[in-house]
Amino acid sequence: MTKWEAPSPSWHKLNFDGAVHNNWQAGGGVIRDHQGKIIIAYTGSLRNHIVNQAEGMSLLWGMKFAIAIGIRQLEIEGDSKIIMEVVDGRSAVGSKVEVVLRDVRMLLSNLDSFTICHIYIEGNVVVDSMVAFGMLQDGL
């Protein structure tokens, strides 16, 4: 998939991203409704993370926000194929990332329905831009 598409009615979509550049690490995401309206947007800096950890933390933050506001049906899209495969149970990563993704999987059990889908960076440009801004922040 290379462009963002709205979720079905009664569903929400979480797009997330993480990045590491030199000594800067950041993550962020956007939760939108079926009309494409932004419900929550978040970004923040991270410390001492590798890129897969930054991606995982971005997803974890988004999951926590979604659950906190009562979302029950969620499409999840990210441009990290490995993170999507690990969450979906098709792959494995190092222990530092696995700890974060274990928490993500636990939060998924709070949803009635969810989908997990890899999206190419061209379909994730809003979040990609936000993550660059997150590198300038101090925390979430």
DSSP state of 117: E
Q: What is the helix (H) or strand (E) element at residue 38, kind and residue range?
A: strand 38-46
Entry field: residues in the chain: 140
- Give the span between the Cα atoms of 75 and 51, in whole angstroms: 22
The region of weakest confidence among 7-11, 13-17, 39-43, 121-125 is: 121-125
pLDDT tens by residue, 127-140: 666 666 566 666 66
Domain spans, the chain: 12-134
CATH 3.30.420.10 assigned to 12-134 = yes
Rounded mean pLDDT of the chain? Answer: 84
Mean pLDDT of 78-94: 77
SS3 127: helix
Residue 77 bridge partners (DSSP): 15, 117
Answer yes or no: are the C-beta atoms of 21 and 64 closer than 8 Å. no
Contacts of 40 (CB under 8 A, 6+ apart): 30, 31, 62, 65, 66, 69
pLDDT of residue 79: 86
Q: Which two tokens stand for residue 14?
A: 């979480």
- Give the model's pLDDT for residue 34: 96
Q: Which residue has the higher pLDDT, 99 or 13?
A: 13
> What number of other Cβ atoms are within 10 A of residue 50's Cβ?
16
CA 93, 96, 102, 104 torsion-angle sign: negative
